[in-house]
Structure 1
Amino acid sequence: MTDPTSTPTRFGLDAVARPGGGFAMLAVDQREAMRAMFAEHQEAPVTDERLRDFKVAATRILTPHASAVLVDKQFAFDAVVDAQAVAPSCGLIAAADHFVAGNGEFVTAVEIDRGVDPAAVREQGAVAMKLLVIHRPDEPAAARVAMVEEFVERCRVAGLVSIIEPVAKAPRGGGEWDWDGCVVEAARELGSLGADLYKAEVPRKGEGAEDDIRRACAQITEAVSSPWVVLSSGVPAELFPRAVELACREGASGFLAGRAVWASVIGSDDVERDLHEVSVPRLQHLAGIVDGLVRR
């Protein structure tokens, strides 16, 4: 007989959700991409400390208004935990992906980060882990599927919520390709492999005709067996609230986003002031959209 005490208590989606059942989640797990954002506003090299301090401040100021926060182990997870920066009402998500740079991209490939131990981050307070997955139309599905299945099992054994984030990228071989088609194909390929939550790019990058965006969102809903949310990368910040609304009207359950909330305060002469005065209202507005459209 299996010792019942050997199996950790399993966290459910309530640990990263709003009281009404939707998701209004904050991402501060950007790595070299965030360094590049800071570099646009200063001549001196952007230090790891600069990134860490921003992530801790954003977590402390914004998480009272978020249902969960996603933090990377590379720069900030330990610092966020040590600073007790996560609001008690907010779930903590550990990024469990190792980004491989190359070919002019900050992320050209992704591996499971073996240095992120599920049991250890759970002990530090995490209720979930997230894995980015690169979907290229000219690369075989088998490796992506196997990585997602392994990640989901690692989360399951540790009692953590599993979140996958497929991102469409151009074929390595070049040539014409259909980005929107790839976003939907990724959902069909990876959306029923057991992950508890699916994080999708916004069709049409939030631009274009409402009917086109809604049609593609409906296709994602049909393809994914779990609840799903949208991310904000690639979507103009002023269009992201509309994107969240359209996605939720077609079956999405909220968002897990960073840039649309805090990117504009990078380079400010008073970052903490602007996180309070600019980013908090944006996050509250987005959360209000989710609360108004998503019910259990």
Structure 2
Amino acid sequence: MPAAPLSLTPGKLWGLRRLADASGRFKMTAVDQRPPIKTPIKAHYGTDEAPWADVAGFKRLLVEELQGESSALLLDPHFAYPHAVSAFDPAKGLILTLEDSLFTETHGGRLSSDIDDWSVEKIKRIGGDAVKVLAWYRPDADASVVAAQKDYVQRIGAACARFDIPFVFELLVYPLASDAEQTRDYVEMASKRADHVLQSVETFAAPDYGVDLFKLESPVPADAVPGTDDETAETAGEVQALFDDLGRLAGRPWVMLSAGAGKDAFRKILTHAYAAGASGYLAGRAIWLDAFRAFPDWEAMRAGLKTDSVPYMRDLNALTDARAIPFLAHPAFGPDGARLTPADASLRHVYPDFGGTP
């Protein structure tokens, strides 16, 4: 028996529309990264902590130079929002991150938590159009860790439902203590297994978690993705089948993350994702990392964003326009697509307060 079509509450529908372009496609830039920006700056200075002004200054630079090609930007509350919001184009969608970048590493796996003194309610009140959470997840982690991560995501989903704000959920697999590959960096796990990626998506697609938009990694290591346009690649069909499974299991609109992939690799990933029904991207380092390597030469970084990052985004956006599915038309919403319900004068009577009472 086919599943009933998904529906979006008024606040979630409006929030997702704010994140997308006029056609309903997502062209979103991530500026919330903390360790990937702080670590190179610390190394440059030889200090234990990166100066706030340098981290925040680079994030403002990203907002200033990249928002023109973005439908929305993802900011953090430590650096990007306080320093760059004055330069933020109010016509762009605003996503704010909730999870702390300092996860807890245990023998059985990683545990996530919120940024201290930060919440879904504060994101809603400060003007955010959506809440973003990254959860490191391995279906084969210790049972207590798996349960804790599920509980964490479920609590956030419930809070997003209460405040009627979209929940943008990012999943990343990571190495367990028993794996040969070990890293705590925010990079793709090169030895990841496709079944771990797919099982994770299937788990959190359940209605208990309240995910509105998935931000997903490639089921195949980035450098092993041939691209759908590479007709000579023997594995192209096999890779596409995995992306097709990714979209099927998500069961709602989804976008691709870059996880530090190179420019060419990420573009190939998007060709597979769009063929599988993705509605866009939410990416950071694939777009701006090359320019950031010029730190601390601020003029060189700005020039790199203008001459390298912006043209790359224009290429991705053209690909997105040509091949991505508008989120409003995702099959999960049924033949009529995502729409306001009820679209009549009864809305005010049935739309609940934060406490859940109409």
Q: TM-score range by the shorter chain?
A: 0.7 to 0.9
Residue 98 (structure 2) pairs with residue 96 (structure 1): yes
> How far is 1:172 from its partner?
3.0
CA distance in 2, matches of 1:254, 1:9: 21
Match of 1:56 in 2: 60
Matched residue, 1:276: 306
Answering whether residue 131 of structure 2 is matched by residue 129 of structure 1, we say yes
Query: Quick one: which of 173, 189, 195 aligns to 2:203?
Result: 189
- Which residue identity is paired with 2:68? P
- Residue aligned with 1:100, SS: coil
- The size of the alignment, in residue pairs, is 285
CA shift for structure 1 position 121: 2.5
Counterpart residue type for residue 165 of structure 1: E
Equivalent in the alignment of 1:3: none
Amino acid in the other structure paired with 2:284: G
Q: In structure 2, how many angstroms separate the alpha carbons of the residues matched to 1:130 and 1:113? A: 12
Q: Secondary structure at the match of 1:20?
A: coil
Q: Separation in 2 of the partners of 1:165 and 1:146? A: 15
1:55 deviates by 0.5
Structure 1 residue runs of 5 or longer lacking an equivalent are 1-6
- In the alignment, which residue of structure 2 is the partner of 1:168? 173
Contact 1:27 1:258 in 2 (8 A): yes
* Structure 1 CA distance for aligned equivalents of residues 260 and 293 of structure 2: 20
What TM-score, normalized to structure 1? 0.87
Q: 1:87: how far off?
A: 2.0
Q: Match of 1:240?
A: 266
2:163 corresponds to which of 158, 165, 170: 158
Identical positions, percent: 25
- Which of 313, 320, 341 lines up with 1:290 in the alignment? 320
Post-superposition offset of 1:153: 1.5
Task: Measure the CA separation in 2 of the matches of 1:203 and 1:9.
Answer: 31
Structure-2 residue corresponding to 1:198 = 214
Q: Structure 1 residues 111, 124: CA separation in 2 closer, same or farther (over 3 Å shift)?
A: same
Is the CA contact (8 Å cut-off) linking 2:104 and 2:112 kept in structure 1? Answer: no
Q: Deviations over 1:210-233 (max 9, x none)?
A: 223312111111111221111111
Counterpart secondary structure, 2:113: strand
RMSD over aligned CA atoms reads 2.5
Letter in 2 for 1:245: T
| C-alpha distance in structure 1 between counterparts of 2:92 and 2:31, whole Å | 14
What residue ranges of structure 2 are gaps of 5+ in the alignment?
A: 1-8, 182-190, 225-234, 327-358
More strand by share: 1
Tell me by how many angstroms 1:180 deviates. Answer: 2.1
The match for 2:6 is none
**1:38 positional shift:** 3.6
TM-fit CA distance, 1:20: 1.8
In the TM superposition, what is the alpha-carbon distance from 1:108 to its structure 2 partner?
4.8
- Which of residues 128, 145, 154 in structure 2 aligns to 1:149? 154
